[in-house]
Structure 1
Amino acid sequence: MDGKPTIARIWRGRTRRDIADAYQDYLHEAGIKPLMEKALGVQNFREDRATESEFVTISYWESVEAMARFTGGDPRKIHHLPRDAEFLVELPESVQVLTILTSHGRTR
């Protein structure tokens, strides 16, 4: 993948703190690994709070059309993983799709 990222797709989900480690492992296997094969780049974040943990995944794409080829449909529509309902406090209703205006520095 030699293209330049012009689009960032941001997904957020929250889980109970006591099952956050299990969800992190599941999310990596079922969600992150497939993204790593298709997206130009992927970042996954976790914030632990007193009773819950929030996960944020940002994937980088050449275009909205490239995202659509990966999702097989509308890339702005949420695509839940098979076990998300088991882990997440609530199922996210949307993702955020942003145009990248400026990018500077190293992120690794």
Structure 2
Amino acid sequence: MICRIWHGLTSRENAEAYASFLEQRAIPDYRSVEGNIDVQVLRRDDGEVTHFLTVTHWDSEESIRRFAGDDILKANYYPEDTDFLLEFEPDVQHFYVVASRSKDG
């Protein structure tokens, strides 16, 4: 399993609207891709800015490629992101999950 992490930065005043956008637009988009296991969006307010981490889990690099294209380490952006984000980081991070346990497992 591969964990893909994207970081975004908004102004604090746009944070609620951006969180709503991510829930309504981005999460369904991730979940529609075969091989996506799950999605979490994390938020941290820091003074006048808010950090968002989108953490997704995938079953393979090929599944990520279906979402991200051939350059799987390149960040994907939606046109609407220009209304919210303060910067556009070019890359994401990938980590191979080497150990994991859920409450049920």
* TM-fit CA distance, 1:32: 1.3
Residue deviations 1:54-98, cap 9 Å, x none?
A: 110111011111110223332211111112122111111110011
Partner of 1:37: 32
Structure 2: unaligned runs, 5 residues or longer: none
Partner of 1:20: 15
Runs of at least 4 residues of structure 1 off by over 6 A?
A: none
> Once the two structures are aligned, what percentage of the paired residues are identical?
33
Partners of 2:89 and 2:42 in 1: CA distance: 16
Structure 1: unaligned runs, 5 residues or longer: 1-5
RMSD, matched Cα: 1.6
Partners of 1:51 and 1:69 in 2: CA distance: 35
What TM-score, normalized to structure 1? Answer: 0.85
**Are the counterparts in 1 of residues 68 and 75 from structure 2 also a CA contact under 8 Å?**
no
Equivalences, count: 102
Q: SS of 2:14's equivalent?
A: helix
* Alignment-mate amino acid for residue 68 of structure 2: T
What TM-score, normalized to structure 2? Answer: 0.88
